[in-house]
Each structure stands twice: as C-alpha cells, then as structure tokens.
Amino acid sequence: MHTIENVVGQGMCVGCGACSVVTGGRVPVKIGRRGSYEASLAAVQSADVRRASRVCPFSDESRNEDEISQPLYGKDQPHDPLLGHHQFTFAGRIADDGVLEGSSSGGMTSWTAAQLLARGLVDGVIHVGAASPGQGELFTYQVSYNLADIQLKRKSAYYSTTMADALAQIRGDGRSYAVIGVPCFIRAARLVGEEDPVLGKQLKYHLGLVCGHLKSQWFAESMAWQAGVKPDALESVDFRVKAKHRSSNDYDFGAKGTDDSYLSTKPTQALVGGNWGHGMFQLNACNYCDDIFAETADVVFGDAWLPEYKSDSRGTNVVISRNENLNTIFAEGQAQGILRLDELPADRVAASQAGNFRHRRIGLAVRLADDIREGKSVPLKRIAPGIEGVSARRLDLIRLRRKMSEKSLQSFESAKMENNINVFLKTMLPLVRKYRNVEFGGAHKRILTDYKSRLKWALASLRR
Ligand SMILES: Cc1cc2nc3c(=O)[nH]c(=O)nc-3n(C[C@H](O)[C@H](O)[C@H](O)COP(=O)(O)OP(=O)(O)OC[C@H]3O[C@@H](n4cnc5c(N)ncnc54)[C@H](O)[C@@H]3O)c2cc1C
Ligand code: SF4
Ligand code: SF4
C-alpha cells in the first residue's frame, strides 16, 4: 500500500497541508529545496502519521475522488468518467467587461465566492491571493471576510501554496467558509472535514479550479527573470494579463520589481516555460493525478478552451455545477443580466481540456507503468498502469515532458546559485526544440504517410 510515508519519501507531496491541519501542526509543511511546499514526517509519532495518511490525497489510506463524491452527488447526478458527477454544465462569464478585466478567465469563480458571502451562505472565503510585500512569497492562502477582499484576490496563482495555516487559523472560530482550490486541495479539504468534525462543519462550500498542473514558486521567478526582473528584486507577478485582440489563451505574463512603478509584460508563450505542454516547474505530485474537474467540489471553474470561445480575449469559463443552491445563484445572475451563460453538453466541457486528458489519462498510465518497472511505489489510481496501444510518438512526448519538469527545476536551481538565467535557458532550449520535433515531426510524418497512401490510391484508380 502506498502510504503518506511513500508520498513524502518519493517527493510526491503537493504541499496541501491537510496532514498538518489534522495533527495540530505536528506534521510541518514548509517550502522545500525546490520552491514548493512539502511535508516532513521526521520525528512525527506513528499515530499522527496514520491520521495524516488518511487525509493525504496521494495516499492509498485516504478515500479517493469516487468514494468521496458518490455519497455527496451520486444519488441524483449522472457520473461521467471524465467530468465526475455533473448537474449543470455551461460556459459563461460576468457581463461587466470592466470588472472582467481583473479576472483570469470569465470571472465566475470570484463572482460565485462573492455571492456566497453576500447571501450570508458563508462568513468567509479561503483562497489564494497576493502576499504582503516582504513576506518572502508572492502568493499565500488567505481568508477574505468582505467583498472588497474577494475582489482583490482574483486571477490564477500558478504557484505552490499550502492551506495549512489558513485552515488552522479558522478552525473552531464558529464561522462558516467556502474554500477555493485545485482538485487535489479540494479532495484534501474534504478529507480534513471527514477526519475533523469541527472543520467539517465549517467548510460549507468547496469551489474547484480545473487543473493542468501546479508549478513550483520558481516558475514565477523564472518568467519574471526573463521579463527583466531578477528573483531578489521581484515584488509581484500577474500570470494572466489579458491581451486585447489576441485569443484568450494567448495572454501575457507581468512582473513588477521592488523599484518599478509599472508591470513589465511579455507574451507568456514567448518565454521559456510559458508553454504548459512542456510541463516546466511542474510538481512531481501532478505526475500521479487523475482529477481534472475537481470531482469532489460543489462546482468547478476552468477556461473554455473551445474554438467558439477562445477567440474572445475577455475570457470565458467552463463550469460544472453539482449543487442546487449554486444552480439557483447562476440562474438568478443570468436573469438579472449580470452573467452571460450558454448551456454546454458534458462532452463539450470535456473537449475544452483535451490536452489535459492526454496528460492525465494516457500520460498517467504510462508514468505509472514506467515507475512500477523501476520498482517504485505508486499510488492506486483510477487509471490502470500500461503502455499498450500508446503510439511511439506519444510515449516520447510523455517521457520527454517528465524529463523537462525535472530538468527545469535542476537547472533553475543552478541558475539561482550562479545568478545567471542563461544556465536555465541553455539547458531547457535544446529540450524545447526536441519536444517540438517530436510533437510536429510526428505530424509531418503522418501527413507524409497520408499523402503517400492517397497517391497510391490515386495511381491505383488511374490504372483501373
Ligand atoms: C494551478 C492551476 C492550474 C490550472 N490549470 C487549468 C487548466 O489546465 N485548464 C483550465 O481550463 N483551467 C485551469 N486553471 C483554472 C484557470 O486558470 C482559472 O483559475 C479558472 O478558469 C477561473 O477563472 P476565473 O476568471 O473564474 O477566476 P477569477 O475570477 O480570476 O478568480 C480566481 C479565484 O481563484 C482563487 N485562486 C487562484 N489561484 C488559486 C490557487 N492556486 N489555489 C486556490 N485558489 C486560487 C483566487 O483567490 C480567486 O478567488 C488552473 C488554475 C490553477 C490555479
Ligand atoms: S500531499 Fe498534503 S497531506 Fe500529503 S503529505 Fe503532502 S501536504 Fe501532507
Ligand atoms: S494536477 Fe492534480 S495533483 Fe497537480 S495540482 Fe492539479 S489537482 Fe493537484
């Protein structure tokens, strides 16, 4: 059985902090060597380790997404192997373009959190926002108790954080909360709620974010360094600056130095690491994840990466709601003209994350098989390990991507030590070229094969 000892020992910890919360802080979760939060089990008593293992989203001792979501939503909601349970699936955005500018995508996540607060359904929202200057980090989990604070903490933080302190801070304060997080954090929050009835009562709404993978804090530093702001002078970043007249997935990255009065921006795709397909700075935990649509959350928000929405730079969310109260809130928002919503069939919602599914279904099966062959312990996933039926090109891409995640962390560590970003760039650029060759070389070959077979068919029909 893959337990929390294996998770921590093999560097698979995502830093959620659930283990810390249920042990009253006796399992410390701190920033590790590679810019991401990690738990440490050194000197932890065995009763605490077992309790921690029951809430760890990568341990076989914890309940998985199906086991958690079935009693919550299974009674009256269909289940889809890609989406999980779903009651209402749609694409949408808030109608006020001025407000929308300050959100990553369609602004539905912060709008929904604000509605829960405004309607008195919760007293506070636990979510990630910019840290105060001098805190040593750019983003942290924080608690918002008013609408202005929710508005201040918008946009996606592709940045390692932990819920440990925020959950410990609110525990037992007699108030109710909505928690926002990526799928494994939401699973962890659900597990904490099951293990600790005090927090279980307080966490009333779970709002998920669709997730491709999580990045080490070094991702922000690397992108900022390439945009002209060195790590030791970095004050803040904006991972999603919307670019008018470009498609919604072609956004800019912004960085501000301590002495700068403005945000220096560069197109994300032009920076090394900006292509999510390359998996740079990805946490190792994400190599073992099969939950894209936060299957244990009451609602999940993502980007509508679909042709009919992508061309609009303002951004549009895909949303899966699993909660009647939230469905009513969305319907009222639409009726009042505050939201613009289009119902979307489940298969279109799944299609919006096609690349994600390749990485977390086919890719996961391959990575599990590779690890098992190397004698490593792996968590029990809902996807069986195996490489059967996977094309040679896809195998190459999956393995290369994994290597790029690892190399990006190694080479950025050296770049920081030598105070020279070129150390990172010189390592990664040849790998980027190699990835492109495998990705598009395969396409060229397929086109050539297709062309040859068409030619053969045409010649054969001429002869007839
Ligand atoms: C690590 C990560 C990976 C993602 N990968 C994908 C993907 O592959 N495909 C996809 O479609 N969408 C992905 N998303 C979601 C996407 O980036 C947007 O966050 C989502 O579409 C919501 O946009 P919005 O305009 O509704 O949110 P906004 O109105 O901008 O509000 C965002 C809300 O989320 C909170 N928040 C931001 N980052 C975090 C965080 N790390 N942890 C907890 N709360 C946070 C903020 O505090 C705020 O309340 C990812 C998000 C994250 C954080
Ligand atoms: S993944 Fe979360 S619960 Fe598991 S060890 Fe890491 S911090 Fe603790
Ligand atoms: S990819 Fe999975 S493991 Fe990684 S942060 Fe997202 S939900 Fe968590």
Ligand 2 lining (C-beta closer than 6 Å): 4, 7-8, 13-19, 29, 39, 55-58, 188
Q: One-letter amino acid identity for 58?
A: F
- Ligand 3 closest atom vs CA 185: 8
Residue of 214, 283, 382 to test ligand 3 pocket, by largest number of atoms within 8 Å of CB:
214
Task: Report how far ligand 3's centroid is from the alpha carbon of 184 (Å).
Answer: 5
Ligand 1 lining (C-beta closer than 6 Å): 103-110, 113, 127-129, 153-158, 180-182, 209-212, 214, 301-303, 305, 317, 353, 356
Ligand approaching nearest to the C-alpha of 286: 3
CA distance 414 to 416: 5
Task: Report how far ligand 3's centroid is from the alpha carbon of 183 (Å).
Answer: 6
Task: Report how far ligand 2's centroid is from the alpha carbon of 429 (Å).
Answer: 33
Task: Report how far ligand 2's centroid is from the alpha carbon of 276 (Å).
Answer: 24
Q: CA 127, 36, 2, 54: dihedral to nearest 10 degrees?
A: -30
pLDDT beneath 50: ranges in the chain? 464
Ligand approaching nearest to the C-alpha of 289: 3
Residue of 21, 56, 167 to test ligand 2 pocket, by largest number of atoms within 8 Å of CB:
56
Residue of 6, 12, 26, 29 to test ligand 2 pocket, by largest number of atoms within 8 Å of CB:
29
- Ligand 3 closest atom vs CA 213: 1
Per-residue buried b or exposed e for 242-251, using 16+ beta carbons within 10 Å of the residue's own CB: beeeeebbeb
Ligand 3 lining (C-beta closer than 6 Å): 14, 182-184, 211, 213-214, 285-286, 289, 291
Ligand approaching nearest to the C-alpha of 212: 1
Q: CA 202, 204, 207, 211: dihedral to nearest 10 degrees?
A: 60
Alpha carbon of 387 to those of 213, 288, 368, 373, 436: distances in Å? 22, 15, 9, 11, 22
Task: Report how far ligand 3's centroid is from the alpha carbon of 36 (Å).
Answer: 13
Q: One-letter amino acid identity for 39?
A: A
- Residue with CA nearest ligand 2 atom 8: 19
- Residue with CA nearest ligand 3 atom 3: 286
Each residue of 312-345: pLDDT tens digit?
999 999 999 999 999 999 999 999 999 999 999 9
Q: By C-alpha distance, which of 203, 309, 195, 204 is closest to 249?
A: 309
Structure tokens at 93: 């955005």
Task: Report how far ligand 3's centroid is from the alpha carbon of 406 (Å).
Answer: 16
Q: By C-alpha distance, which of 361, 368, 369, 439 is closest to 400?
A: 439
- Say what the pLDDT of residue 137 is: 96
- Ligand 1 closest atom vs CA 153: 47
Structure tokens at 410: 């190694």
Task: Report how far ligand 1's centroid is from the alpha carbon of 301 (Å).
Answer: 7
DSSP secondary structure letter of residue 215: B
Task: Report how far ligand 3's centroid is from the alpha carbon of 448 (Å).
Answer: 37
Ligand approaching nearest to the C-alpha of 310: 1
Q: By C-alpha distance, which of 156, 65, 142, 145 is closest to 109?
A: 156
Q: By C-alpha distance, which of 248, 302, 276 is closest to 84?
A: 302
**Domain coordinates in residue numbering, the chain:** 4-216+282-354
CA distance 254 to 262: 9
Q: Are 157 and 128 in contact, with CB atoms under 8 Å apart? A: yes
Task: Report how far ligand 1's centroid is from the alpha carbon of 156 (Å).
Answer: 4
Task: Report how far ligand 1's centroid is from the alpha carbon of 242 (Å).
Answer: 14
- Ligand 2 closest atom vs CA 17: 7
- Say what the pLDDT of residue 458 is: 56
Alpha carbon of 46 to those of 27, 50, 184, 453: distances in Å? 11, 6, 24, 64
CA distance 226 to 16: 29
Residues whose CB is less than 8 angstroms from the CB of residue 464 and which lie 6 or more positions away in sequence, other chains included: none
- Residue with CA nearest ligand 3 atom 8: 184
Length of the chain (residues)? 464
Each residue of 272-311: pLDDT tens digit?
999 999 999 999 999 999 999 999 999 999 999 999 999 9
Task: Report how far ligand 3's centroid is from the alpha carbon of 359 (Å).
Answer: 12
Q: Are 236 and 219 in contact, with CB atoms under 8 Å apart? A: no
Collapse the DSSP code of 98 into the 3-class scheme (helix H, G, I; strand E, B; otherwise coil) and give the result.
helix
